[in-house]
Amino acid sequence: MASNGGVDLADVPSVDLMTELLRRMKCQSKPDKRLILIGPPGSGKGTQSPIIKDEYCLCHLATGDMLRAAVAAKTPLGVKAKEAMDKGELVSDDLVVGIIDEAMKKPSCQKGFILDGFPRTVVQAEKLDDMLQKKGVKVDKVLNFAIDDTILEERITGRWIHLPSGRSYHSKFAPPKIPEIDDVTGEPLIQRKDDTAAVLKSRLEAFHRQTEPVIDYYTKKGIVAELHAEKPPKEVTAEVQKALS
Ligand code: ADP
Ligand code: AMP
């Protein structure tokens, strides 16, 4: 049978092939959507993204996840990004715009995308607009994960992530079935090096100074929906669904 990316499809269990086929058939009837999730660190963007992604058949592009993968693999991009990330500062606009431009070409982005953690500066937002304009498309909706800073320290310091997939857990609010183990793969979870109270301070400062103006940028375009991100996860999901319906 035909092979694809080094995987012989004859080796893939029939149930997996059927599930993927059904998923693709269901996806064909979904409208295209291009979404941006904006919010401070810990506001719940990464928690809601997989739910939106599955519902609308979109790709989930989280610049933080991509940069962490590059740092772990010690690629030239990762080497350039590491210092700023460790300090809780933003990496340069050109670095992240380049990775987003490349990532959007993936077949999984055919129906649209969820941008999580990008754009984080007005320059990035302008460059994204240029990029999309060249493709003849535009951003449909910006979900603003509005939340008070005081709630974020407990969320950030209790966060555990599965590095390969970006899945996040919380020791108190969303614990894995077995402590420090990913529910899906059984692999170990890690705590991010920048998920400390001290680094959170710089990350929040960067958010207020550099990213909040991005919310104003899209508010002027009339496409922002504000969520109550302090609510429990299921209630936030309900608000997301309402905003996208
Ligand atoms: P972000 O991607 O915006 O940085 P995450 O989705 O990773 O944030 O959430 C940060 C932490 O808070 C995670 O440990 C997650 O399990 C937890 N969390 C996410 N949403 C909620 C919520 N609505 N209420 C309580 N905890 C949450
Ligand atoms: P996050 O996973 O979204 O919390 O991002 C982790 C870190 O990656 C940030 O503190 C920044 O150093 C860097 N980063 C992620 N996305 C961007 C972006 N769009 N622009 C600049 N830096 C970013």
Interval 21-50: pLDDT, tens = 998 888 888 899 999 999 999 999 999 999
Q: Is 159 an active-site residue?
A: yes
d(CA 134, CA 151): 40
In tens, the pLDDT along 163-173 reads: 888 899 999 99
Separation of 64 CA from ligand 1 center, angstroms? 15
Q: What percent of the chain has pLDDT over 70?
A: 98
Q: What would the CATH number be for the domain defined by 31-151+205-244?
A: 3.40.50.300
- Ligand 2 contacts (CB < 6 A) are 41, 63-64, 67, 84-85, 88-91, 96, 117-118, 120, 124, 203
d(CA 215, CA 164): 30
pTM over 0.75? The answer is: yes
In tens, the pLDDT along 73-118 reads: 999 999 999 999 999 999 999 999 999 999 999 988 989 999 999 9
168 lines ligand 1 (CB under 6 A): yes
Torsion sign across C-alpha atoms 120, 123, 126, 131:
negative
Residue with tokens 């962490």: 68
- The amino acid that residue 234 corresponds to is K
Strands of the chain (E only): list them.
3-4, 7-8, 33-38, 59-62, 112-116, 141-146, 159-162, 167-170, 224-228
Alpha carbon nearest to ligand 2 atom 6, residue: 64
Mean pLDDT of the chain: 94
The ligand with the least distance to the CA atom of 147 is 1
Alpha carbon nearest to ligand 2 atom 5, residue: 64
How far does CA 82 lie from the centroid of its chain? 19
In tens, the pLDDT along 8-18 reads: 889 999 999 99
Q: Is 209 an active-site residue?
A: no
217 lines ligand 1 (CB under 6 A): no
From 47, 51, 118, 148, the mutation candidate for ligand 1 (largest count of ligand atoms within 8 A of CB) is 47
